[in-house]
Structure 1
């Protein structure tokens, strides 16, 4: 469908469909393709959840958007009592959206809840380093670590939003998922699962933290699965904010005078992962996985498909992350070498497999085409994220393409600790990798951490448990009436947006 056809469809619907009025009605309408089924952010892992989390909730600490330094948010200060003990002084006078007072009980309850394996939160790596939390007094808490973990503050900035203890005890995840309550600059006023949620400015938001009070009164986040119709919504002024557009869509919108397109570098990476634990699959053999690595033209994907300055990825982590090591093992695009490896593995005619996918379908299609040329016949198995992740951890996909923005965490530990080290999504379970990650996570020196992560990365890439593809450039499109600056962590901080 062309842009003009999408616009025509939207114009035809405009008279029959009620809409907010953008700047005139002080309402920012965001259109994206994610279907939120719950708003309890501990129970979904899609990166869009970080946007909801950051606008509706607060953590103990945050990062200064200009300097990158850690600063207090719900905590006003902290100190390391030892390499495994952090003491926090909490901010007084903060209220949750339902009127509950914030204090140490909320911090203790939240952390105790999310680190309890019986509660089965999805982002377990965010709190797996915590041993215990204790209340010292009403506005002081102590977090004890299982072992030294230098990225502790980084994880607390994004991965541990604080919930109101009384409300969560009463309603549980089902209630929080429908009617969220936080302390943040915006509060949720309505939610239609799979369709939209509406945020209203929290006029009582506290001062003194890192987040300013929101300037736009209302934000409507609406699901639109048809990306062409999504573009039409922006063109007909029924939306003011799109993101995760394909490069082609961004190119088409860039010529429209009422629209501003921005291509933003991110921490997001695309990769292939293999189930190395299924002895019945040809992909359980390292030489077959190496054949796949030589078959995929990663440079062409970066240059011709992602564009916008995208680079071929050669590391497990994002290159901008702290302690991300330089690559030591790489695979040049070499179809002849791929065929040679398949022949040596006893597969001269290749083989058939499925390839899972959940986003950036055009990348998966390019990979399928490259594999076809060396005799690997891969059929796409496309899933929404929740089903995709479920198949991932249950080891039901032999090969898949995915991407991650690492939940905005600017430390390499999130890459290695989420996908390897015997985490639920680790499909290699390699003790050499696990031991190297354990050493890295317990080392304070950035130089030493980087060395241990390199040991893990070299093993991962040598065995091709993971094939890095490309660093993703995020394509945004905005109404020119909107003043908004994207950030590399892909968190859309609506409270920093304003009308021109």
Structure 2
């Protein structure tokens, strides 16, 4: 009997140990569709960079929370002058970069001055355009003086493009990123994954995960077996939407449908004939069947949009009825533009599922009005170089996931070549306006201008289809910013 008790006791201890080991899991493999071109959020437009590095490795003065709110970051507090032009930031004490160098006010001045410099390569340089001076008051105090009041300044400082970097490591962040966040960069296996490990010297609450591997799964067909086999435990943006019903029926997984800031558009090169003709752009807007595209490219989960603005924003105006699907109207407009027989063009598509599938549907729809498209599939780096940087394109499909980014339509030299002085005036007024109601009014006016100008064909708001192990908690339901913030993610029993 004593032997049996001993055996059962030993078995119980073994089982308890096994359970403890299971409940103590601290590693996570996250599936992401795109591999970033490099790992420096301050030097590239690719959202894939922020999806891995934002809030995990790099931090800014402020940060954007899961509901789109502005939260303290490396600045624990701030004061704003009565005229709205001077921001005095009180920085956190005891913060170190991952290479052991000390974070202080000099790093903030370096980062902001670098981002707004004449030779800056920051993809969102406009975020810093209102800054006049950055002064170091003392090691933990920075004073930023603006040229004019800017209602979105604190929000802008929470973007991935505004993270704080150190002069000692800034030039090598593309390959070996060094930040202040709860995770340190471990390694980048090109074509396969980026691995982060917990930062033991983090200034704030330590991350529950000891290791997080962001694995690149560009093929939607590979996402399902990777998930079902347990090779990948979480897809913040699940690419295989056709398999959702199968996944939903499996109790091992949580399926969470949320919203993003991703306005998905059929972008047109407004600076190139025939897309420089309003009637041609209006014809294309009438020729597309938005509902068919949403059904095919987002499994019916995308929300229709009629301008470049998120339906989740309180300033959203529904303009989807401005250009209803009408093939005959499209043909009439093409005839008025001198193109009664139609024309030929190319459509360059990045590797995302929504773009590739959406591009096929758009090509079929435009063929009905005698616009013949040649589909040119591209890898992400190719798209960034040819379309975004060199503006060498006719049409493309892309989802702009930056938050509240309608201002891109007022930027000189932006890739779709739109130039409207009236729109720029509205943006300038918005930038200087603090009152929320007035800002919303200006946002609505801006939406109407670009919709009436048919700058692009506005398709749908990209849904966030999150699929992960049901034992994971802390994953973001929505994506108010292009990020996979792992600071609160942990495994439960």
TM over 0.5: yes
The 3-state SS of whatever aligns with 2:222 is: helix
1:215 and 2:216 are equivalent in the alignment: no
The alignment's TM-score, normalised by the length of structure 2, stands at: 0.87
CA contact (8 A) 1:427 1:465 kept: no
Equivalent residue for 2:398, pick from 396, 399, 402: 402
Q: Tell me what 2:167 maps to.
A: 165
Q: Tell me what 1:145 maps to.
A: 146
Q: Tell me what 1:84 maps to.
A: 85
1:83: how far off?
2.0
Equivalent residue for 2:244, pick from 236, 246, 250: 250
Q: Tell me what 1:486 maps to.
A: 477
Q: Tell me what 1:182 maps to.
A: 179
- Give, in whole Å, the separation in 2 of the partners of 1:308 and 1:265: 14
CA contact (8 A) 1:246 1:475 kept: no
Which 10-residue stretch deviates more, 302-311 or 490-499?
Answer: 302-311
Q: Tell me what 1:26 maps to.
A: 26
Q: Tell me what 1:228 maps to.
A: 221
1:343 and 2:335 are equivalent in the alignment: yes
Q: Tell me what 2:103 maps to.
A: 102
Please list, as runs of the form range in 1=range in 2, the aligned pairs for 1:35-434 lying within 5 A after superposition. Answer: 35-51=35-51, 52-63=53-64, 65=66, 69-81=69-81, 82-159=83-160, 160-168=162-170, 172=171, 175-207=172-204, 212-242=205-235, 243-278=237-272, 281-303=273-295, 305-307=297-299, 309-321=301-313, 323-325=315-317, 327=319, 330-358=322-350, 359=352, 360=354, 361-390=356-385, 391-406=387-402, 409=403, 412=404, 414-416=405-407, 418-422=408-412, 424-434=414-424
The alignment's TM-score, normalised by the length of structure 1, stands at: 0.86
The 3-state SS of whatever aligns with 2:266 is: strand
C-alpha distance after superposition, 1:202-255 (max 9, x if no partner): 122113xxxx42111100112233222232121111111122414213334334
Equivalent residue for 2:467, pick from 477, 484, 492: 477
Q: Which consecutive residues of structure 2, in runs of 5 or more, have no partner in the other structure?
A: 1-20
Q: 1:423 to 1:83 in 2, by over 3 A?
A: farther
CA contact (8 A) 1:263 1:308 kept: no
1:153: how far off?
0.5
Task: Decide which structure has the larger Cα Rg and report it.
Answer: 2
Q: 1:24 to 1:223 in 2, by over 3 A?
A: farther
CA contact (8 A) 1:266 1:487 kept: yes
1:308: how far off?
5.6
- Give, in whole Å, the separation in 2 of the partners of 1:241 and 1:423: 38
1:486: how far off?
2.5
1:184: how far off?
0.6
1:257: how far off?
4.2
1:439: how far off?
1.7
The 3-state SS of whatever aligns with 1:117 is: coil
RMSD of aligned C-alpha atoms?
2.4
- Give, in whole Å, the separation in 1 of the partners of 2:327 and 2:190: 46
1:401: how far off?
1.4
C-alpha distance after superposition, 1:382-423 (max 9, x if no partner): 2233322332342211222111111xx3xx3x222x243325
The 3-state SS of whatever aligns with 1:459 is: helix
Aligned residue pairs: how many?
462
